[in-house]
Amino acid sequence: MSGVLYSVALQWKLDIRSKSLFVTCYVVPLIFFLLMGGIFTSVMPDMRSTLIQSMIVMCVSMGAFIGLPPSLIETYGSDIKKVYKANGVPVYSGLVTMFLSAFIHLMIACSVIALLAFVLFEAVLPAQLPTFFFALAIYLIVSLSIGSILGLIIKNQAKLTMIAQLVFLPSIMLSGIMFPIDLLPDFLEMAGRVFPAFWGYRLMLNSGFCLENLWYLILVFFAAVIICGILLKKQKLE
């Protein structure tokens, strides 16, 4: 157990040092939040009721799809994975460590966004904070599980930059955080439902924590676990 805690704490420090996860979990989402928070609440004061949830979707999507995969590629796309085998450590340890570290980073960033939104832009705080954070944790886990697939399946950073955008941009544009989804054509509205951001956003809204918004996220999570398991098994056999 102390080995796992040491690994997660070390990974947490490495994520900050490597800057890629630090920038995508903290710097860019916070700058985006400060700019968009100011604009949204000035132009559309009603946005104050959903500002926290929408900015969190942006932060989680960026951290999970653009921040986590490079760390996984650094390990599983190189000789670093041999370190696990050489020390008799299961090959999935790296994934678990990086997943937990990214989860903590994003949880901190989302909490900072929620607090600053309330203080700076008079955003409405969620009515039930424990339920809100539970919904956030579920949404985070599902998003990171998709980020894990990207990191395990893509072998180099250049390809990742392109492919991660194909998940990140629709998550932001089609989830309803930028503008009401009713304004979109039907096919784009349907496409938006494919991405966990659509469901995660609804799950975090007041009175949104229900099976209707939850089932798809659970399904995606289990599918992602199976895919990651297969990809890791393949790594082990290599």
Identify which of residues 13 and 193 has a Cβ nearer to another protein in the complex: 13
- Residue 7 lies near another protein (rule: CB under 8 A): yes
Q: Which is nearer to another protein, 14 or 107 (CB)?
A: 14
**From the list 88, 130, 180, 185, which residue makes contact with another protein (rule: CB under 8 A)?**
88
DSSP string computed for 46-110: GGGGTHHHHHHHHHHHHIIIIIHHHHHHHHHTSTHHHHHHHTT--TTHHHHHHHHHHHHHHHHHH
Stretch of 79-87, 111-119, 135-143, 200-208 contacting another protein, by CB under 8 A: 79-87
State the Cα–Cα distance between residues 154 and 158, nearest whole angstrom.
Answer: 9
130 touches another protein by CB under 8 A: no
CA distance 30 to 35: 9
In whole angstroms, how close is the CB of 237 to another protein at the nearest point? 6
Q: Which stretch binds another protein (CB under 8 A): 29-37, 81-89, 142-150, 200-208?
A: 81-89
Binding segment for another protein among 73-81, 133-141, 187-195, 219-227 (CB under 8 A)? Answer: 73-81
The smaller minimum CB distance to another protein, of residues 13 and 159, is found at 13
Residue 17 touches another protein, criterion: CB under 8 A = yes
HSE, CB side, 13 Å, CA atoms: give it for residue 191.
13
Choose between 119 and 237: whose C-beta lies nearer to another protein.
Answer: 237
In angstroms, give the least distance from the CB of 146 to another protein.
23
Compute the distance between CA of residue 168 and CA of residue 60 in angstroms, rounded to an integer.
10
Q: Does 3 bind another protein (CB under 8 A)?
A: yes
Confirm or reject binding of residue 156 to another protein (CB under 8 A): no
**Tokens 């900072």, located at residue:** 112
CA 111-138-150 angle, to 5 degrees, is: 100
Cβ proximity of 130 and 204 under 8 Å: no
User: Which residues, other chains included, contact 230 with Cβ-Cβ below 8 Å and sequence gap of 6+?
Assistant: none
Provide the binding-site residues for another protein, judged by CB under 8 A.
Answer: 2-3, 6-7, 10, 13-14, 17-18, 74-75, 78-80, 82-83, 85-89, 237
